[in-house]
């Protein structure tokens, strides 16, 4: 873990004589590794961590405390935020592969403390626990959470970190409304279809998104817009006047990514979905 040097000296009658320099190395009697069992995360997702301690020595480590910083970091504006919340009751504790009674575990001042961990001589311990991405977790594209766990109670510092990236993909919902809700025969009606994207990745033309509908009763003389701009039949959509089947052509409906704004005072993130609005107007 570290190399150290030492030198002796003697003095006699104003003269100083130095010895040779000795060199030694401090090695850890134990190794700690931390891994994330979750490949990525999104809003509110659970993230499971696995902490392993291997005792290479002949003396038991007893009464260790694991401290996890739960990803604490300084956000823009200088505010400290903690993006993970410990899930109570989720701790599993194994000694040499044998499940043990759950140790004491609690979240204190934005840190997870797991107390009473014992690692037998020549043995190993595995501690598994779950956290959840909270309202402070970064959600933008290519964002990540890095958190560090430290084992206290040994003569050597044992710590390791794990980084989990965001899940970079669209997250879509669709809703539909009609106006007016009461229409006379042969009257005009407008359907409004709203596609919202709460994900950190935009839907682009090459994603080939298709929005489809089946109008009943049938519509005639339809006009179609997307975000207020006219969409042309044949290049932007298809419509079968005999069956009422309507569909946008692949890639004709892009949907921007959501934007994520962190409150400069509280540190909480607000998500504003990206939106695409399709209107279809015709006569019944």
Q: Which tens digits make up the pLDDT trace of 110-148?
A: 999 999 999 999 999 999 999 999 999 999 999 999 999
**3-state secondary structure string across 113-154:** EEEEEEECCCCEEEEEEEEEECCCCCCCCCCEEEEEEEEECC
With a CB cutoff of 8 Å and minimum separation 6, the contacts of 12 are: none
pLDDT score, position 26: 55
Whether 147 and 47 have beta carbons less than 8 Å apart is answered as: no
Helices (H) and strands (E) in the chain, counts: 0, 25
Query: What is the C-alpha to C-alpha distance for residues 258 and 274, in angstroms, rounded to an integer?
Result: 5
pLDDT tens track for 29-67: 789 999 999 999 999 999 999 999 999 999 999 999 999
126 closest CA partner among 45, 46, 37? 37
Query: What is the C-alpha to C-alpha distance for residues 270 and 273, in angstroms, rounded to an integer?
Result: 10
Question: For residue 143, what are the CA distances in angstroms to 37, 76, 102, 138?
Answer: 18, 14, 33, 6
Query: What is the C-alpha to C-alpha distance for residues 130 and 88, in angstroms, rounded to an integer?
Result: 8
Whether 129 and 52 have beta carbons less than 8 Å apart is answered as: no
- The answer to whether the Cα torsion of 197, 203, 207, 212 is positive or negative is positive
Residues of the chain short of pLDDT 70, as ranges, are 1-2, 24-28, 154-156
pLDDT score, position 98: 98
Query: What is the C-alpha to C-alpha distance for residues 252 and 204, in angstroms, rounded to an integer?
Result: 9
- Strands in 158-165's sheet, in edge-to-edge order, are 104-108, 111-119, 61-68, 144-152, 158-165
Query: What is the C-alpha to C-alpha distance for residues 237 and 246, in angstroms, rounded to an integer?
Result: 7
pLDDT score, position 25: 61
Taking the whole predicted model, whether its pTM rises above 0.75 is answered as yes
Domains of the chain: residue spans and CATH: 28-165 (2.60.40.740), 172-283 (no CATH)
pLDDT score, position 29: 72
pLDDT score, position 185: 81
Q: What SS3 state is found at 205?
A: helix
Q: Identify the helix (H) or strand (E) that includes residue 196.
A: strand 188-197
Q: What SS3 state is found at 207?
A: helix
């Amino acid at each position: 873990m570290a190399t150290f040097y030492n030198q002796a000296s003697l003095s006699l009658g104003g003269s100083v004589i130095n010895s040779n320099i000795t060199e030694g190395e401090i090695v850890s009697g134990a190794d700690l590794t931390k891994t994330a069992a979750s490949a990525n995360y999104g809003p509110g997702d659970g993230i499971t961590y696995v902490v392993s301690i291997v005792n290479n020595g002949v003396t038991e480590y007893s009464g260790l405390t694991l401290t996890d910083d739960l990803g604490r970091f300084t956000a823009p504006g200088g505010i400290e935020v903690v993006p993970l919340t410990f899930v109570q009751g989720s701790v599993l504790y194994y000694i040499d592969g044998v499940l043990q009674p759950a140790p004491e575990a609690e979240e204190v001042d934005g840190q997870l403390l797991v107390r009473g961990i014992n690692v037998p001589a020549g043995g190993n311990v595995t501690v598994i626990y779950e956290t959840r991405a909270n309202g402070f977790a970064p959600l933008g594209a290519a964002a990540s959470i890095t958190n560090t766990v430290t084992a206290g109670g040994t003569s050597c510092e044992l710590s390791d970190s794990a980084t989990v990236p965001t899940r970079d993909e669209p997250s879509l919902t669709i809703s539909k409304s009609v106006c007016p809700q009461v229409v006379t025969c042969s009257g005009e009606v407008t359907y409004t279809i709203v596609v919202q994207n709460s994900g950190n990745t935009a839907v682009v033309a090459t994603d080939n998104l298709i929005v489809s509908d089946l109008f009943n009763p049938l519509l005639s003389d339809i006009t179609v817009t997307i975000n207020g701009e006219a969409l042309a039949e044949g290049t932007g959509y298809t419509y079968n006047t005999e069956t009422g089947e309507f569909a946008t052509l692949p890639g004709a409906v892009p949907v921007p990514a959501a934007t994520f704004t962190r409150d400069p005072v509280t540190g909480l993130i607000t998500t504003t979905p990206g939106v695409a609005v399709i209107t279809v107007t015709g006569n019944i």
